[in-house]
Structure 1
């Protein structure tokens, strides 16, 4: 007779839980295998398997094979973070690294609560980008990454930031298609300066292919940006950064991107890329449903100060701020999303459930993965983060397995 295998069951109880309806006190969340199978409160008869009974840490009152994790009432359980714009971490790069480098970066961000990562590239030759796409796509197919984001080379030399100007090119649709094809179905987003020759046609192409067209590293006018949105662009790459500032007679891309409900705006909440008042302006203008917090992280995230490479560019990180060695432009960030979450609540004064939307729910929707991740609901992947009273990470679970186990 074949052996009968029993799916392990884990119950998290006692803490606040961020459900789609809002944060509930003394919440209860049940995980079986890789999925969430029930949510509720400690004394809610509708919660899967609880029948309104309190249980102890040994799982008394639960079916055999259940592990109950009793959390402090002040702790908060939130969905795993989803980062759609990330270049690396832990001293390793997604942009030019080996498989081991990429996995090091992924592991570093997972330990900080990011259970879903899209790997972002930086400007390079088309040949180099297609080679790296082949490597990254294998890891997407293996479930380690959620997709590829091409940031460059189709960007404006006027707003290049930490990109090699000598490698920039206009967004010819044929070249854009070449990079999308190189990703073998794993390309999720392409950042474009849509005012450049071929930009609007490339936006239309990406929309037809089901790939997000993001407006960024752009010198576009207000009118040019509106045209890009009408053509199918739906994301603003790190809004305010690498684009003309908002002016009262020349509103530029910022006004166009903020005012259109079809656009989700990326924000880097590290205290360096955006002044708190600017983040408040953006969040207050578009609402929690149109913000995606990102890291734009480079190798030093979760690692430390020093000299690094970002694609072909040399970067120095000093006191947690990454800048190009030549020119001094900000070169990505050293941010992890747990820090962005904590800052959003403790510095910016945002409600935790609004931060959850910006850091988990909205980016999951953009990736087309809302049926699997982004909220804590029965049937979805058991991707979650446990935060203490100070909003520090004390637990991370990905697909039912603890990455960081609560003490």
Structure 2
């Protein structure tokens, strides 16, 4: 049980949330405006669908690195995540998929739960790698079926303009894999066509895709004009606040991701991102040539950044919890209601983390100092 201002599916209530065997059984209390009191704010646990690492560990290392990154991000309110891969040689991708499956079979009880895999590449445009290593290639259905047999791939990023990728999108969508468009030089028309074949999202909107011009609207234009869902990195470094506000007006279910690297939760210095070395400095992570290479963002800071742009806490919470869950088609996480898993984030009135609960068990306490140093 926990008392406070509870963000339920019907709005804020001041009262108590009760759970049993990891699931919410009852929420008592009366409607309230949380701005009228100093009690804690209780919101759903955060769901990060694009995270490469944290705590000095990188997904592509496999093994113990997966537990390290999951333990790191739960300290900042993330209760569920997709382990996100990098473009790499085929053998390395297959090995890390096997490692993720093994980790999921016996997950660390004190760590964020890994829901599956976000396969970011290698089916991307070699002309729009961003910070991805140079192992991009076209995808084929037979290969994807083999990869899907190794691990639960829930989300895949690809460039739709590459030969054969419309058929690949259709096939993946029929298998239940969500397809996002990213790392792409595709046109507006190619983005719209990809959505007609089943693509349903955009990877780190604005970054590593063709931009918006009034006579050549590009992939960004396709997203702004047609998308119901897209992910965005709200660290206020990857995307200008004005562009974030534009996306918020255009895309109903725009949701936050961290795109966090091994540098998240760590001091400045050099870290791994796949096969590459990246440097954390001045709040960002970059390759040696200055290219942004993922982020140091944590989801609690993403929440505060959204609120700083004028979003209500309830709206910001939806974009870190409910919308990602809905995008994956999972209806018992990302919301506080009877029957849902008791994944909770408890905040003080300044939106600093007080506690994190995973399936009703407290797994993290106050991380205010750590949050502010990122």
The TM-score normalised by the length of structure 2 is 0.92
Aligned counterpart, 1:91: 56
1:177 deviates by 2.5
Alpha-carbon RMSD across the aligned residues, in angstroms, is: 1.7
Match of 2:279 among 316, 324, 328: 316
Aligned counterpart, 2:248: 283
Q: Structure 2 matches for 1:298-377, cutoff 5 A?
A: 298-325=261-288, 327-345=289-307, 347-370=308-331, 372-377=332-337
Aligned counterpart, 1:397: 357
SS at match of 2:66: helix
Distance (whole Å) between structure 2 residues aligned to residue 198 and residue 334 of structure 1 = 35
Unaligned runs of 5+ in 1: 1-10, 45-71
Alpha-carbon distance change, 205 to 148 in structure 1, aligned in 2, over 3 angstroms: same
Q: Which moved more, 1:35-44 or 1:235-244?
A: 35-44
1:43 deviates by 10
Distance (whole Å) between structure 2 residues aligned to residue 18 and residue 376 of structure 1 = 7
Match of 1:80 among 45, 62, 82: 45
Distance (whole Å) between structure 1 residues aligned to residue 70 and residue 79 of structure 2 = 9
1:380 deviates by 1.1
1:405 deviates by 4.0
Aligned counterpart, 1:37: 25
Aligned counterpart, 2:340: 380
SS at match of 1:304: coil
Aligned counterpart, 1:195: 161
Given that 2:353 and 2:366 are in contact with CA atoms closer than 8 Å, whether structure 1 keeps it comes out as: no
1:270 deviates by 0.4
1:299 deviates by 0.2
Distance (whole Å) between structure 2 residues aligned to residue 128 and residue 94 of structure 1 = 11
Q: Deviations over 1:246-284 (max 9, x none)?
A: 1000001111122225x4110100011011111111011
Q: Deviations over 1:135-177 (max 9, x none)?
A: 1012233354100011011111221001112x11112223322
Q: Deviations over 1:38-91 (max 9, x none)?
A: 1131699xxxxxxxxxxxxxxxxxxxxxxxxxxx83421000000011001011
1:33 deviates by 2.6
Aligned counterpart, 1:125: 89
1:355 deviates by 1.1
Aligned counterpart, 1:237: 203
Distance (whole Å) between structure 2 residues aligned to residue 378 and residue 405 of structure 1 = 25
Match of 2:143 among 175, 183, 191: 175
Given that 2:173 and 2:198 are in contact with CA atoms closer than 8 Å, whether structure 1 keeps it comes out as: yes
Distance (whole Å) between structure 1 residues aligned to residue 204 and residue 66 of structure 2 = 22
Could you list the structure 1 runs, at least 4 aligned residues long, displaced by more than 6 angstroms after superposition. none
Alpha-carbon distance change, 33 to 160 in structure 1, aligned in 2, over 3 angstroms: same
Does residue 161 in structure 1 map to residue 130 in structure 2?
A: yes
Unaligned runs of 5+ in 2: 108-112, 368-374
Q: Deviations over 1:112-131 (max 9, x none)?
A: 00000110000101111011
Distance (whole Å) between structure 2 residues aligned to residue 368 and residue 242 of structure 1 = 26
Query: Larger Cα Rg: Structure 1 or Structure 2?
Result: 1
